[in-house]
Structure 1
Amino acid sequence: MKKIYKISILLGFLAVTSACKKSFLDLSDPTKKSADKFYQTEDQIKQAVSGAYSSMQDNVNSQYVFAEMSSDNTTIQLDPSDRGQTDRVEAFEFWNVTATNVNIADMYNQSYNALYNINVALSKIDGVTAISDQKKAQYKGELQFIRAYYYFNLVRYFGPVVLVTEPLANASDAFATARSSEDDVYAQVIKDLTDAAANLPAKSTYTGGDVGRASKGSALGLLGKVYLTRKDYPKAESTLRQILTLGYSLVNKYADVFSTANKNNSESLFEVQYLGSDKVSEWSNFEYIFAPRGSEGAVTGFPTSRPQGWNIPTKSIIAEFEAGDERKAVSLKEGYTTDKGVFVAIPYVAKYNHAHTVVGRTDDNWPVLRYADVLLMLAEAINEQSGPANAYQYINQVRDRAGLGGLSGLSQETFRSAIRHERRVELAFENDRWFDLKRSLTNAQMVTLLNAHGQAEKASPTVDRGGVPFTGNDYKFDGYEALYPIPDRQLFLDKNLTQNPGY
């Protein structure tokens, strides 16, 4: 896993990182250059935008910890001889996260470092004269989309957060920031995405090395999800319906959605770009993080590899797939066979498991928004307003592609359950489950569901624990834990910040 930037909002600096050949990411590296001397040409603006995209790699590299492992979708394969992650990654699995958790601090700091750079770039674009108005609008739209992505995640993880949309005049200003209300943060996210949708071109206009940039569909898709999260169903529906006219479609086979030979396909509204086997650290390695410990080459194809055993599919998600659902074999495997022909029944995520040429360097992009997600969100928004009669056509497109029969004759409540089920299996291991639970369930319902899951794992763990006993605090989910704690270091540095209740 690429190292997450550990530079907080208090230490933000211009860090537009280098990236990969044959893509819109640029090899030039203006890291640490003075902002006053940079941002003078269109090429430099392009580099700044590329840096914002590059920061998203660092962000999604760790999102499975916060958005999947805290849910009922995935668990961990313990290494009894090495418990160094007990208070880090394991804490999310067992809901033992505290304000001192390093992973929380890293994610928080990386997000604000990226936001600092985005704010600087946005403040400089209009001052560059040698850029057409059309290109300025596009660059602004891309940065607005990425800024909205960060704040949308932050407000869902932490609730009220520090909202900064302009460069800080001096370092001391950073010590005087306070958390803005959720309403204010969402208002900014909606504004950014509305502006981005107006500024960005259609996906079809991007060719060659520009394929993969944020487009109008990207902005509308994320905006629709924001409205759905806010339970503004009429606006969610009207926003998502706009995407139906933009040329997106489901690919014929579910496996082809994730194929490295089919990146940025007709179903993709936005995915974080990676390049395997490149020379500038732009490869992914999700396969190595998710494969079982000890599986070595049986999963990765390289006998010298040492997979980490994180994000292991639970018995719960395995059982969620209906008989005949073609998505199951693509999404996960229930075990692997060693070179001696022995089957080891430790499940693993298979969605990002594709052939690659260099050990540790995979070519898999990470899906952020897909057309299937849009269809399911649209079905949900319609059902919440008027029941399922006009929503079946959207959910059934997704089920038909999975080889399943269509739904009919459901009540509004049973359709809600059907949507939760369909989203869980369709979007499995794509970092949606935690947010879907928070959006679709009351806090009390979420407490009940997760504690029931925890008790089931305690009674019959998905993966053998090697003799390591559970502690009294393992799998005990309290309602306040639906929000993560503000990192203690931030509270120490900025006395205006407050902690979330319960921590």
Structure 2
Amino acid sequence: MKKILYIFTILIIFSSCKKFLDVQPQLQVDQDQAIVNAGTAATAVSGLFNLVSSGNYYGSNFPALSYLSAGDIQWSGSQSDPNEITKHLTSATNGYVQSAWTAIYKTISQANYIIDKVPGVNDSQLTTALKNQYLGEAYFIRALAYFDLARGWGGVQLILKPTYASTDNSDIPRSSLSDTYAQVLKDLNAAETLVPVAINRNRVSVKTVQALKARFYLYQKNWALAEQFATSVIGDNANYTLVAPYSAFFANNAVATNESVFELAYTTSNTNGHSNWWLPPALGGRREWSPNDALVSLLNSPAIGGNRNALIAQTAPPGNLWYGKLYYRTPLGTDPAYVIRISELYLIRSEARAYQNNLSGVNSAISDLNAVRARAGVAASTSATLADILLALEKERQVEFPFEADRWFNLVRTDRAQSLLGLPDKHLYLFPIPYNETLVDPALAGANRNPGY
């Protein structure tokens, strides 16, 4: 059997059976011959970004795990999988969990292949600078993928070499959470030395790596380094700014604004699935994910949401149904997906400064928080204590990133998910290892499963 490399997603078709299945015809290339020159190396790297943006990863299902878990988004469809997630009854057979897990490991597999093959290519058109860029991007994407696995499933199997035969990468045990995060940092450090300095919001530059490092160190509670790397990106104000008003980064078909540190681009042949689920039928969608009444109230409050109410709209009478409009473009599915925005860096730095007792004044926790609030047209926060600032940051993230993969993971990170969402047990902080994986891999079965599933 030929070993295959998945190069790019051509089409996403959603079925209407019990589980939404993403049917993705893919170009198949013999791995022994795929990356042989500059052109095939470029194609492989393009395929890597298409895997990150696929419907099962950032194009729909992975963010959906966060949306549907975090208590602000309601499911109005009839399928059991998303309904399970909103009720925190997610099972190991949940299709969203399985598809996201599989998509992330496909992405890792492609990154591994690029890291293995690109250094050996002998082609004058594949310059040292291009080789470094492709390798750096592969290390960065692998870091992002393992970061997402860690925050979603805990410690996972670290597969760091390509799979050429069925015996490759077998019998790999689950790593600890700390070892999984250590691999993320190792890959980020490698990427930072290889990727270009020049800004490209749809690819990876030094600042892209530093932004993910800031998020990484926030999760590690390394406040000094979280502040340092957030400052490195925020300080490049020629390239990164809080665009105003809030809607300026997505309204009127805007793409790649100074708000975005890393956003994924889509086309009519490689579509973003979000609008299908958010928009009402009159606008071409299904409106099966929608903001609940509590979130609508927050976004429509001048004192809380401010001009972030541009994220939602209401259908015409007699329905009067609220829907999300971050993803709205024509042709349907050509919206960007936002992986890292500069506002997140401000809130990361605010939290890091707060924990270092830099609470008030210029260049403080409160000044960073208020920069985000000012862009939204909301009055400055008067929070003065550490506890008050942390609570204010939690509430700010809720209305700043309601339709991005943020709130659930941050509530878990701060150990606030159980009390805020009424979870019966903290084992729900992690998603289950997909049942199909436990059937075929003993390293994921039995006592190696996530507890409680």
Which residue, out of 417, 428, 431, partners 1:481? 428
Aligned CA distance change for structure 1 residues 409 and 446 (closer, same or farther; 3 Å): closer
Q: 1:457 matched to which residue of 2?
A: none
Aligned CA distance change for structure 1 residues 332 and 144 (closer, same or farther; 3 Å): same
Which residue, out of 314, 317, 320, partners 2:292? 314
The letter for the 1-side match of 2:251 is S
In the alignment, structure 2 segments of 5+ residues that lack a partner are 12-24
- Answer yes or no: is the 8 Å Cα contact 1:12–1:117 preserved in 2: no
Q: 2:405 matched to which residue of 1?
A: 431
Q: 1:155 matched to which residue of 2?
A: 150
Deviation string 1:337-373 (CA, Å, 9 cap, x unpaired) is 0xxxx2423221111224x2x4xx2321011101111
Query: Could you tell me how far 1:285 is from its partner in structure 2?
Result: 4.1
Aligned residue runs from structure 1 range 24-63, under 5 A: 31-58=27-54, 59-60=57-58, 61-63=60-62
Does the alignment pair 1:110 with 2:84? no
Aligned residue runs from structure 1 range 331-350, under 5 A: 331-333=311-313, 335-337=314-316, 342-350=317-325
Query: Could you tell me how far 1:387 is from its partner in structure 2?
Result: 4.1
The letter for the 2-side match of 1:386 is N
Q: 1:7 matched to which residue of 2?
A: none
Query: Could you tell me how far 1:407 is from its partner in structure 2?
Result: 2.2
Q: 2:20 matched to which residue of 1?
A: none
Higher RCO (C-alpha under 8 Å, 6+ residues apart): 1
Q: 1:483, 1:218 → 2: CA distance?
A: 27
Q: 2:35, 2:334 → 1: CA distance?
A: 31
Which residue, out of 260, 267, 271, partners 1:283? 271
Which residue, out of 161, 166, 171, partners 1:171? 166
Q: 1:378, 1:343 → 2: CA distance?
A: 45
Residues 154-163 or 399-408, more deviating: 399-408
Q: 1:426, 1:64 → 2: CA distance?
A: 15
Query: Could you tell me how far 1:319 is from its partner in structure 2?
Result: 3.0
Query: Could you tell me how far 1:168 is from its partner in structure 2?
Result: 3.4
Q: 1:492 matched to which residue of 2?
A: 439
Does the alignment pair 1:74 with 2:73? yes
Q: 1:13, 1:310 → 2: CA distance?
A: 35
Deviation string 1:242-264 (CA, Å, 9 cap, x unpaired) is 11233311112211111363211
Percent identical among aligned pairs is 26
The letter for the 2-side match of 1:263 is V
- Answer yes or no: is the 8 Å Cα contact 1:157–1:484 preserved in 2: yes
* 3-state DSSP of counterpart to 2:102: helix
Query: Could you tell me how far 1:215 is from its partner in structure 2?
Result: 1.6
| TM-score when normalising by structure 1 | 0.80
Does the alignment pair 1:414 with 2:408? no
Which residue, out of 170, 180, 195, partners 2:190? 195
Deviation string 1:145-192 (CA, Å, 9 cap, x unpaired) is 111111111111111111111113531244412211111110111111
In the alignment, structure 1 segments of 5+ residues that lack a partner are 1-10, 21-28, 452-475
Aligned CA distance change for structure 1 residues 40 and 260 (closer, same or farther; 3 Å): farther
* 3-state DSSP of counterpart to 2:119: helix
Task: Output the aligned Cα RMSD.
Answer: 2.1
Deviation string 1:250-298 (CA, Å, 9 cap, x unpaired) is 11221111136321111110011112xx3xx213342221134xxx22x
Q: 2:441, 2:28 → 1: CA distance?
A: 25
Q: 1:382, 1:265 → 2: CA distance?
A: 27
Aligned residue runs from structure 1 range 344-423, under 5 A: 344-354=319-329, 356=330, 358=331, 361-389=332-360, 390-408=364-382, 410-423=384-397
- Answer yes or no: is the 8 Å Cα contact 2:72–2:292 preserved in 1: yes
* 3-state DSSP of counterpart to 2:343: helix
Q: 1:344, 1:112 → 2: CA distance?
A: 41
Query: Could you tell me how far 1:194 is from its partner in structure 2?
Result: 2.0
Query: Could you tell me how far 1:481 is from its partner in structure 2?
Result: 0.8
Does the alignment pair 1:261 with 2:257? no
Deviation string 1:430-474 (CA, Å, 9 cap, x unpaired) is 11111110112x2xx4222112xxxxxxxxxxxxxxxxxxxxxxx
Q: 1:248 matched to which residue of 2?
A: 240
Q: 1:116, 1:347 → 2: CA distance?
A: 40
How many residue pairs match? The answer is 424
Q: 2:135, 2:339 → 1: CA distance?
A: 20
